[in-house]
Amino acid sequence: MKIKLATPVIAAISLLFGATAMASVGHDKNDIGQPGTAAEVTRTVEVKMGDIFFSSKSISIKPGETIRFVLRNEGSLLHEFNIGDAAAHAAHQKEMAAMFENGTLGATGSGQMANMGHNMNGMKMAGMEHNDPNSVLVEPGATQELIWTFTQSTALEFACNVPGHYQSGMVGQFELEKN
């Protein structure tokens, strides 16, 4: 017996498996640190986001330090604060582009998911989700927090991977201080 699938079903299955495979690309957190807890925070760093810029171009960090990032989006567009190296950001940019293309996210965060009652830290649609522990989306006028414990890593960046933002200069460096 042959089963014949309609083209939309095949397309949906392909999108689901493609998105699941894409979600694992470039997201090995072991080399960049790990999520921290409020009890571990050693200092707080405020980062203001405007349309296509961060208020800081570099942030000093120490190995083992746990930082609470307070992220304020003072712009009119959706922005992201993502911790990673250049290769991880390149992989994540492809994921973000796919989320914009399928309507999961929009320029101000109000994609299809916004009308379904989901919050920005758990955006999910057809197998695609924005829930990496090293990343947070911040809608215009909103404030979010991210607590992160750093390792000995070098060449780390913080970036906005919303399509076109990284390429327009919305990226900064983490400067590793020696203990």
Residue 122 counted as domain residue: yes
- Residue that has been written with the tokens 């911040």 in this structure: 138
pLDDT digits (tens, 9 = 90+) for 6-20: 444 333 333 333 333
Residue 171 counted as domain residue: yes
Q: Is 80 exceeded by the pLDDT of residue 116?
A: no
Which residues constitute the domain of residue 172?
Answer: 7-176
pLDDT number for residue 1: 46
**Average pLDDT for residues 58-86, to the nearest whole number?**
96
CATH number assigned to the domain comprising residue 47: 2.60.40.420
The DSSP result for 134-153, as a single string, is: TEEEE-TT-EEEEEEE--S-
DSSP 65: -
Residue 145 counted as domain residue: yes
**Average pLDDT for residues 27-33, to the nearest whole number?**
64
Buried b (16+ CB within 10 A) or exposed e, 40-51: ebeeebebebee
Q: What is the mean pLDDT of the chain?
A: 79
Distance CA(120)–CA(137), nearest Å, equals 6
Phi and psi torsions of 84, nearest 5°: 180, -175
Model confidence at 129, pLDDT cuts 50, 70, 90, reads low
